[in-house]
């Protein structure tokens, strides 16, 4: 799968063809990048995308949310209930 990368605006857009064949008359402002998708490692993972112009790739990475603040709030709420 491919995407278009606008070198002026740094925006990524859908490739105009479904068969990944070259686009005739494509404006030189666009680069054609290979879209590399990765499976989610967990249900809570959040997708992140990176443009690699050297490799001409648009790659997906996954990050896990940081629940430490949420866990701290839950502990504080439980402690508050014990004091009441």
Q: Output the tens digit of pLDDT for each of the chain's 84 residues.
A: 999 999 999 999 999 999 989 999 999 999 999 999 999 998 888 899 999 999 999 999 998 877 777 777 888 887 777 665
Return the number of other C-beta atoms located less than 10 Å from residue 57's C-beta: 14
The answer, as to whether pTM is greater than 0.85, is: no
């Amino acid at each position: 799968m491919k995407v278009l990368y606008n070198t002026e605006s740094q925006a990524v857009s859908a490739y105009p063809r479904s068969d990944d064949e070259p686009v005739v008359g494509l404006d030189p402002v666009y680069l054609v990048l290979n879209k590399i998708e990765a499976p989610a490692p967990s249900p809570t993972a959040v997708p992140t995308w990176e443009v690699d112009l050297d490799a001409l790739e648009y790659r997906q990475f996954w990050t896990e949310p940081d629940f430490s603040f949420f866990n701290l709030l839950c502990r504080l709420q439980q402690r508050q209930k014990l004091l009441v």
